[in-house]
Structure 1
Amino acid sequence: MGQRRSTNRICLCFSNDVQRRGHGTALFERLERLARLLGINELLVHSATDAAGFYQKLGFSPFVFDAGTFETVQMRKMIE
């Protein structure tokens, strides 16, 4: 039997007036710590095209997965 893959999703965005203040970086640092505690080893992101650089700075790399009908850059980060 194949291994079943569980997926949990968190959807969020920051409005323009609170961007570039460290909120996203702080959130992802905490999310990554929580993921490690829960035994999660992969984070996937549907990034807006103009935000892909932000995720790359956090260690995400472009990765193709089912994006549905969204126009996004799919990114992945493997964590230990």
Structure 2
Amino acid sequence: MEELGRGGRLRGDAAGELVVAAYAAESAHGPRLARGLSLADLAHAVALVEGGDLSRDDGRSLLRGLLELHAIPGE
């Protein structure tokens, strides 16, 4: 079976230059995006517990850790 996302137009890895450029652009926006991404992580964890995909105990531990990360001020 073909690897997901491979085949057709995607026959190889991305060019190194593309990876470097994308990483630089993403890194530059990191501080601005950090709070929103953190909130999305918290919402996702809650949804996993509510959907029964993650136990309440594991969810509690995950949320505790995510809240600690969320409390770190962005740059």
* TM-score (structure 2 length as normaliser): 0.32
TM-score if structure 1 supplies the norm length?
Answer: 0.31
Q: Which has the larger radius of gyration?
A: 2
More strand by share: 1
